[in-house]
């Protein structure tokens, strides 16, 4: 379970699934900015990790092809 979903579920008392749409913020009083900040931090970290993995893959493919 993701951290954002856990935060949202704890606030709502665990009722109902979290439905996320790109560009639409969660409307939960008092914790919206915290949940979105956590989500954005996680997204940025994962994006950086994927960029690093992509660079390693490119290096490997170049090494194998030449």
Indicate whether 1 pLDDT > 50: no
Helix/strand/coil (H, E, C) string of the chain?
Answer: CCHHHHHHHHHHCCCCCCCCCCCCCCCCCCCHHHHHHHHHHHHHHHHHHHHHHHHHHHHHHHHHHC
pTM, two decimals, is 0.48
The rounded percent of the chain whose pLDDT value lies above 70 is 53
How many domains does the chain fold into? Answer: 1
Segment 28-47, tens digit of pLDDT: 555 678 889 999 999 999 99
Q: Among 26, 55, 57, which Cα is nearest to 40's?
A: 26
Q: Give the chain's end-to-end CA distance (angstroms, integer).
A: 43
What range defines the domain where residue 19 resides?
3-65
pLDDT at 6 over 80: no
């Amino acid at each position: 379970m993701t951290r954002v979903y856990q935060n949202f579920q704890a606030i709502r008392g665990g009722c109902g699934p979290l439905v996320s749409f790109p560009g639409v913020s969660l409307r939960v009083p008092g914790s919206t900015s915290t949940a979105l900040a956590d989500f954005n931090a996680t997204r940025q970290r994962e994006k950086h990790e994927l960029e690093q993995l992509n660079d390693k893959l490119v290096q490997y493919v170049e090494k194998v092809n030449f």
